[in-house]
Structure 1
Amino acid sequence: MGLDPHLVQIAYLANVNGSDIGALLTPVGTLATLIWMYILKKHSINISWGKYLRVTFLIIPFGLIVSLISLYFWTTWLLK
């Protein structure tokens, strides 16, 4: 395709980042979340889907900002 290898690597890493964060938005997005919720329920710790979504919508923007800043510094300092 004739793209700069550095640009392709940045696009790849950003895609992985987006895929990881996108799956966390709902409890059915990842198998690990479903297993975690099942284990909590089995031990009489009830977490509703609404509470899960409220927490994820508070935490995900922070995680996204940190990961994008880290990606920026990693690609500008380490890959050049």
Structure 2
Amino acid sequence: MTVIKRFIAGAVCPRCGQMDCLRMYRDDEREFRECVRCDFEDTQRLDGTPEVQELETRVNQAKPVLDAGERPIRFVPNPVKDSGK
């Protein structure tokens, strides 16, 4: 089965802002958009259900690797001064 890619007349690319450079094509369950100038790509399900994507947080990302000799900075709170009154 060959994929037929069609240009979308009057459409503006969300990344580069150029007009008439977006084309679209479909497979059995998805619709694809792509820009021929800046390589922008976007997909959407044909049944309209949203894509489930987990938000990136500090908990679900890999911990940064420190180079040899590097140490994390530790912040120590200032001591509370007694006014003596």
Q: Same fold (TM over 0.5)?
A: no
| Structure with the larger RCO, 1 or 2 (CA within 8 Å, 6+ apart) | 1
Q: Rg: which structure is higher?
A: 2
Task: Using structure 2 for the length normalisation, give the TM-score.
Answer: 0.19
Task: Using structure 1 for the length normalisation, give the TM-score.
Answer: 0.20
Which one has the bigger helix percentage? 1
Which one has the bigger strand percentage? 2
